[in-house]
Homo-oligomer: A and B are copies of this chain.
């Protein structure tokens, strides 16, 4: 084990200096110039929605170097059972709340955030120089932060793996490279939005008569922040789900308080550390980004969320708390991603095997512990037309089971797709699947070759009928999917539209060889306000969305009130204040 201090020297300002805000603008200008091409390229990608990515998602040594993986693992290991070197203003004591779903306590301690006024006061202290730095300088600082997070991607991947339970490669991709892309996207969209109004304009109004002097004014437009932003992280995607809001708020001038899920603090602690390191280097107050760790019972998020100084909130998590935030944090603009019932419509397919393989992968990935994992699969009780003949629901279940066996039959391979079950709630729901309908495919316990204490499960498939709405109208987070028999595709589509309008969904997909059905499904998806994937038979899965091209969520159904990353996600994070004078 490499001693932590040689890897990650404690920043000079920690333990003594708590504020350094003597920015002469030189460093942030350097950052801004260094990353200008990247920023412009990202802005362009957001506008065209073509494929583009800035951070390679392959953890291969050919991409990241021979020692990157080992060094990253060592850096992660070095954090275990140590005090994480962050200062949280107003903290009292420490917390150590993380246990790896692979079976060991992380033992990392963080300051326990306590005094809300002290925390928010410190967060706001550096706001003015940060505001005055302007959009370009702030974007430069944010992109330098992403650059340095990228340099620590293997360390982050380990931290994500051992808090969320994701398998390593997924943690590297979703929690590292793809999360960085989403963060960059958010910075790019916000930069576009901030620079949509010019910094200055000359206004010249012709006089009322031909020979009268025009009225001439010079106008200045300044982007100002809303106030303090609060980011409330989740256990399953601590970086991917938190970074877009964090960077959208930060780049638009707002200090950000990061309140991690008690089960997934380290990835965000590293994030905050890097943010503070770069902020200080550029001459800004480190406490523009702070970590507010807590004991689960502290209810810190609720206390922060309704504080008058908190003007922006990004939340990923339960419907109950998300709805509470939307209703109670009326002083803030609230961006939520909650839960819904992701839907698949099966009507017909040109390749039964490929369809089953694609669905099996979507159910298996991270044991379905994704807000985008499909749950409700509607199909006609009479069966669906396929290249392999008509397939009844039982036959479809068998096809999916066969695909699951191919994918997950070997434990060593299976764990790399399934990851580990993140918490007891998932296991409890899985245990009770049999009570909900007829068990078509049973979940299997998988032994993790490297982590014997990891809880690894394959997906269960439960047969339901259209009348079983009390079962399928709520999210069963984890490796459980429902195969719901309907009177026919028309009923499937009606149920899809109706349940998503009322219960929400992050994703939807349809399989049909009939253009009319596809058209009906698109129409229903528009009515329900959910993105639709059509006939996924290859290497794209409904639970995955690509930054710069796919929006994640829509904000148009109850599962989320916003989307990564559209104009609405960034435009309300700042205001424009103008001044004008005659020239």
Contacts and interface: CB of A to CB of B under 8 A. Distances in A.
Nearest to A323: B330
Interface in A53-81: 58
B579 A522 contact: yes
Interface in A515-540: 522, 525-527, 529-540
A554 B577 contact: yes
A566 interface: yes
Contacts of A202: 50
Given A49-B221, A197-B49, A204-B50, A556 B533 contact: no
Interface in A486-500: none
Contacts of A532: 577-580
Q: Which of A204, A208, A571 has the most CB of B within 10 A?
A: A571
B576 A566 contact: yes
B575 A572 contact: no
A576 B554 contact: yes
Contacts of A572: 568, 571-572
Interface stretch (A107-115, A360-368, A400-408, A543-551): A543-551
A409 to B, nearest CB: 23
Nearest to A200: B49
Given A202-B50, A215-B538, A582-B537, A576 B549 contact: no
Contact of A330 (B215, B226, B330, B580): B330
A579 B533 contact: yes
Nearest to A555: B575
A217 interface: yes
A557 to B, nearest CB: 9
A215 B576 contact: no
Contact of A568 (B198, B206, B208, B571): B571
A193 interface: yes
B330 A579 contact: no
A270 interface: no
A19 interface: no
A49 B198 contact: yes
Contact of A131 (B198, B203, B526, B538): B526
A244 to B, nearest CB: 16
Contacts of A527: 128
Contacts of A131: 526
Contacts of A580: 531-534, 540, 550
A545 B424 CA distance: 59
Contacts of A563: 575-576
A219 interface: yes
Contacts of A534: 579-581
A358 B326 CA distance: 45
A58 B205 CA distance: 14
Interface string A202-229: 1111101000000101011110101000
Interface string A114-155: 000000000000001001000000000000000000000000
A227 to B, nearest CB: 9
A170 to B, nearest CB: 15
A47 interface: yes
A425 interface: no
A224 B538 contact: no
A51 interface: yes
A224 B557 CA distance: 11
B58 A208 contact: yes
A390 interface: no
A299 interface: no
B535 A582 contact: yes
B196 A567 contact: yes
Contacts of A539: 215
A2 interface: no
B531 A556 contact: no
A526 B224 contact: yes
A222 B226 CA distance: 30
A469 interface: no
Contacts of A201: 48-50, 549
A5 interface: no
Contacts of A578: 531-532, 550-551
Given A128-B527, A531-B580, A571-B572, 8 more contacts: A50-B201, A51-B203, A51-B204, A201-B549, A219-B549, A224-B554, A525-B577, A568-B575
Q: Which 5 A-B pairs have the closest CB atoms?
A: A49-B201, A556-B575, A567-B571, A534-B581, A568-B571
7 contacts: A49-B198, A217-B540, A224-B526, A533-B580, A536-B582, A563-B576, A572-B572
Interface of A: 47-51, 58, 128, 131, 193, 196-198, 201-206, 208, 215, 217, 219-222, 224, 226, 326-327, 330, 522, 525-527, 529-540, 546, 549-551, 554-556, 563, 566-568, 571-572, 575-582
